[in-house]
Amino acid sequence: MELSDYPTIRVAACDLNGQMRGKRVPGDYAAKLDSGAVRMPLSVLNVDIFGADIENSPLVFETGDADGVLRPTGRGPVPLPWLNAPQPLIPMTMYHEDGTPFDGDPRHALEAVLERYAARGWQVVAATELEFTLVDDSGDALKHVRSPRSGRRLDAPGILSMSQMDSFDDFLTALYEGCAAMGIPAQTATIEAGIGQFEVTLDHQDALRAADDTWLFKALIKGLARRHGFAATFMAKPFDEDAGNGMHMHFSVLDGDGRNVFDNGGAAGTDTLRAAVAGCLAGMPPATLLFAPHANSYDRLVPGAHAPTGAAWAYENRTAAIRIPGGPPAARRIEHRVAGGDINPYLSFAAILGAAMAGIEDAMTPPAPITGNAYDLNLPGLAADWQTAIDRFEASELIARILPSGLIRNLVMTKRQELSAMSAIPHEAWWKTYLETV
């Protein structure tokens, strides 16, 4: 079926919070998308978590809220299996009228980082592990999900439980079918430490495609959950007393001959790997805002909550923020374990890979890898709260090497507006803002 045969299709780009912003348009628009037939105000990618314009934004007051031009990323069309009527999505990115990329578009920010690798003849290969929690949001308070098999509310974690997996088999089967239809390479699915919490691993592939898939996967999970009678959330901490949701990113770098530049034939890896690790460690405190972008994010970044709170690295140690997994040397890679599930994938990828490249460019040397439990060590800390994270991000010279100035300015204004708004909302009601927006 040709796109033009559909009554309507969807076009959407990613805003700074990772939400889809776009339009539903007639199917016959498909032939005109490459020529810039779809336009939206540039400021649309810079609205806050509530969908409101940013007060005093220069995108509005200095440019008269000028339009940008949306063009396809080259990924679409993508089916949306959770909808009743077929409406393929064409993922888009934002450009200025003259054809230059809009620097407030997070996907362009990641593309710019990856171009620095490409200039060396390198390709970044990446994968993500995403945790999400199934919940019941039908009342005034967020509750644990009910088992579709028994109808009883879950009241305990079921780590790696196959019986609990069976209870949600219809949902998980639809998830794998949806991933296949959307071209998302889903691998393993497991029951995690939180009540109603799952983790799905996406396969290694080109880093830009991996970020695209992570963005689409989050939409798929939320949509399918609703079709099955519950809600799914990537909130960093859905329940105060329970495990939080994280996103682990794995990456390696291939040279022009397809060789892994982190591989020295042994377990230690190359000097290039260690320089990339050093860059990631240096970038971790100022980039906390990208790994923990919301008020609820900081409920997860506390000692004992199974989330790294200090900048350290190690070999085969899951308490460290940066882990070098074992396995065959040819697959040597870096696992970055800091981000919450509530991140914007493009910005998180850009921060990690940009910091790694800075480490390589500057030939940084990391401290010695830690041994033992990272939570027992006195380590350089991530930003402890949202306000500090915003301030560090804005002032960081390293962040300014990674992201365009316009995006930094827009994101800081967005987060300061959100900080003010969320401070007026009781903590126990935060979930109503974040349940489906992150």
pLDDT digits over 268-282, tens only?
A: 999 999 999 999 999
Residues 6+ positions from 265 with CB-CB distance below 8 Å:
329
Mean pLDDT lowest for which of 117-121, 123-127, 301-305, 366-370?
301-305
pLDDT higher than threshold 70 for residue 17:
yes
- Residue 304 confidence (pLDDT) above 70: no
329-344: per-residue pLDDT in tens?
999 999 999 999 999 9
Residues 400-429, mean pLDDT to the nearest whole number? 97
Contacts with 285 (C-beta within 8 Å, 6 or more apart), sequence order: 311, 380, 381, 382, 383, 392
- Per residue in 118-154, is it b (16+ CB within 10 Å) or e — as a string? eeeebbbbbbbbbbbbbbbbeeeebebbbbbeeeeeb
pLDDT in tens, 151-209: 999 998 888 888 888 999 999 999 999 999 999 999 999 999 899 999 999 999 999 99
**Among residues 166, 237, 189, 209, which one has the least CA distance to residue 78?**
209
Residues of the chain with CATH 3.10.20.70: 7-102
| CATH node for 114-434 | 3.30.590.10
Q: What pLDDT sits at residue 301?
A: 86
Position 159 scores a pLDDT of: 85
Q: Check residue 404 and give its pLDDT.
A: 97
How many other β-carbons are positioned within 10 Å of the β-carbon of residue 4? 12
The 3-class secondary structure across 98-125, one letter per residue, is: CCCECCCCHHHHHHHHHHHHHCCCCEEE
- Other C-beta atoms closer than 10 Å to the C-beta of 212 total 25
Mean pLDDT rounded to a whole number for the chain? 95
pLDDT at position 1 over 90: no
pLDDT at residue 305, rounded to an integer: 61
How many Å from the N-terminal Cα to the C-terminal Cα in the chain? 33
Q: Which two tokens stand for residue 426?
A: 């009781």
Q: What is the pLDDT of residues 119-136, one digit of tens each?
A: 999 999 999 999 999 999
Pinpoint the residues of the chain covered by CATH 3.30.590.10.
114-434
Architecture of domain 7-102: Roll (3.10)
> Closest Cα partner for 54 from 348, 344, 431, 407?
407
Cβ–Cβ < 8 Å for 403, 109: yes
Tell me the sheet residues that pair with 59: none
Q: Confirm whether pTM is higher than 0.95.
A: yes
- Give pLDDT, residue 46: 94
- pLDDT band of 58, cuts 50, 70, 90: confident
Confidence of residue 61 (pLDDT cuts 50, 70, 90): low
Is the pLDDT at 379 greater than 80? The verdict is yes
Share of the chain above pLDDT 90, in %: 86
